[in-house]
Structure 1
């Protein structure tokens, strides 16, 4: 499952970290959170840092097994594969290698040990994003609540459709929804069937406490919204492809 957006600041990393936690803790799946964003946010939210630098690119070059870089998250059944600075050069490396399904092959191998793999993707449109689409069984697209949300989603859909003949299902989700704001209400009214994650202090505290919302404040509206979203995602992933 890929968490993807063409722009930053939409809650992508928060989605990835929290949905991976739901997968492991609430659904009981062995889960890997793979950070493909050079910012390294997903690993940071679990209090982790890469053990060494410039190893991520070696995974894609087949010079190092991804299993050697995986770290336990501190929560049962949830591991993290952190990003490091070499991720910044990954797009050029993939173009140079000419292996259009390298990420898909790596995730297939890792699926022998993990029932669910969550990819925290960088906000780019390049060879790496194309490889993400080829690897994913489902793409989650966090979108800020605004009248332009549908337009932004259409841009993502066109990008994904342009990189594979049969693209995976794409699920838009309104992120940081604050119904006290008129534009946010209008966005929800315009897209009533889209799931939504509310704006909440529990989500902001994820980065401060370096823990997912479900561990910090399990009864908070945000934690419960992530739980409901994961339930729908898990049901979709369980369907025969």
Structure 2
């Protein structure tokens, strides 16, 4: 059995990826920050499929906790799957938000950096001894970091996600001697809880975005979660260092 760690899997894309990986036979360690109830619901859905999952708390924006978290992951692997290593890592946890360039504060910029860029960078570094040779990593980036995705008001957020794009390529290069593949997915507008659950609060935002999407709707978490699972699987064994836009043709 393979084992996977997915950060930020209490809802949205992370939950979908966790469920899809469990459906494909992986044992799953998922993380949550404040939404423990959501993490528990993810576990319930995985168990309904006959899978096994455990949830661990993690604040991706606080790198001082990472060594202790690695120990918790190692304990969970041994206790639940008699395993010593992870096969898959999905760096997905994060939050969204925007501000005009002239209104972006250092505090907001630094918070985005800690969670969206520094967190995945040093969490991956910390967990690297636990990742099996021949394993795979997928990072969640954003359509906003692509050349075609530029929208006013997201300079800080997109800068961090652009950093993750670059990090993906460098990790693919540096981890290749161990046979570890590293790729990323760039979702377009997707119905998640990002932005304070914006689509639920402001449903009027959906139609304008759907009208700019070639396939005529906004994304659902499962659209992204399934692609993450594909990139981790053996079907993508010859794919590394790539960023895959998963947007239904947004702005095509």
Q: TM-score, normalised by structure 2?
A: 0.45
**Structure possessing the higher relative contact order (Cα contacts under 8 Å, 6 or more residues apart):** 1
Bigger helix fraction: 2
Q: TM-score, normalised by structure 1?
A: 0.46
